[in-house]
Amino acid sequence: MSNDFAHIPEYDKQINFDILNIFSPSERWRSLTQSQPPQLNKPLTTVSNNNNNNNLYCTACKKKFSNVATFQGHLKSAKHIANEKKNKPKKAGGHVPSGRQQQQQQQPQDPAVKEGLNQLKQAITISKSSNPAPAVGVLWNLSKNFYTFKRPQSTYQALHHLINTLESLESSSVVPMTGITPSQITSTLYASRLALARLACLYATETCILFARNLYLNALHDKWKLDRDQLESLAQQCDTIPLDQILVQCQQLAHRYIDREEKRVTPIPIKADKNQSLMTILTEAIGMFQDNFTNPKENQGDIVIVLLCLATLVSKYEMGYQGYTYMEMVSQMYEKRAKHYQASQARVILYSMISADGEDKTISSWHLWMALLLALEIDDFVRVDKILQMIDHDPIVDSSHDNILSYLDMQVLVSLSKALKQQDYTTLKHTIPHQLEHLELLLQDDNQDQEDRLKLLLRRGVTDPVKRNEFLLRLQMLNPV
Residue-wise pLDDT tens digits, 174-193: 665 566 888 999 999 999 99
User: Using the 8-state DSSP alphabet, how is residue 398 labeled?
Assistant: B
Residue among 297, 304, 268 at smallest CA distance from 283: 304
The per-residue pLDDT for range 381-423, each reduced to its tens digit, is 999 999 999 998 876 544 445 578 889 999 999 999 999 999 9
Spatial separation of the C-alpha atoms in residues 167 and 186, rounded to whole Å: 9
Q: What are the residues facing 401 on neighbouring strands?
A: 398
Percent over 90 (pLDDT), the chain: 55
Spatial separation of the C-alpha atoms in residues 139 and 195, rounded to whole Å: 13
User: Using the 8-state DSSP alphabet, how is residue 114 labeled?
Assistant: H
What average pLDDT score do residues 24-52 get? 42
Degrees (nearest 5) of the Cα angle 411, 415, 418?
Answer: 140
Residue among 115, 113, 90 at smallest CA distance from 101: 90
Spatial separation of the C-alpha atoms in residues 473 and 470, rounded to whole Å: 5
Q: Residue 438 is which amino acid?
A: H
Degrees (nearest 5) of the Cα angle 476, 458, 244?
Answer: 85
On whether the CB atoms of residues 47 and 75 are closer than 8 A, the answer is: yes
Spatial separation of the C-alpha atoms in residues 150 and 140, rounded to whole Å: 16
**pLDDT number for residue 296:** 45
Which residues 6+ apart lie within 8 Å of 143 measured at CB? Answer: 155, 158, 159, 162, 192, 195
* Model confidence at 40: pLDDT above 70: no
Which residues 6+ apart lie within 8 Å of 145 measured at CB? Answer: 112, 116
Residue among 146, 173, 121 at smallest CA distance from 17: 146
Spatial separation of the C-alpha atoms in residues 91 and 97, rounded to whole Å: 7
453-462 CB contacts, 8 Å cutoff, 24+ apart: 454/362, 455/406, 455/407, 455/408, 456/407, 456/408, 456/409, 457/362, 457/365, 457/366, 457/369, 457/407, 457/409, 457/410, 458/409, 460/362, 460/366, 461/362, 461/363, 461/366, 461/369, 461/370
**pLDDT number for residue 258:** 96
User: Using 50, 70 and 90 to split pLDDT, how confident is the model at 42?
Assistant: very low
Other beta carbons within 10 Å of 235: 20
Overall size of the chain counted in residues? 481
H helix intervals, 76-151: 78-87, 99-105, 111-127, 134-148
Of the CA atoms within 13 Å of residue 244, those in its CB half-sphere come to 5
H helix intervals, 378-481: 381-392, 408-422, 425-426, 432-444, 450-453, 457-461, 465-478
* Model confidence at 370: pLDDT above 90: yes
**pLDDT number for residue 330:** 96
The per-residue pLDDT for range 67-118, each reduced to its tens digit, is 655 666 677 677 777 777 776 654 444 444 444 444 444 455 688 999 999 9
- Kindly tell me the number of DSSP H helices and DSSP E strands found in the chain: 24, 2
Residue among 311, 323, 326, 344 at smallest CA distance from 244: 344
Q: Residue 429 is which amino acid?
A: K
Q: pTM of the predicted model, to two decimals? A: 0.80
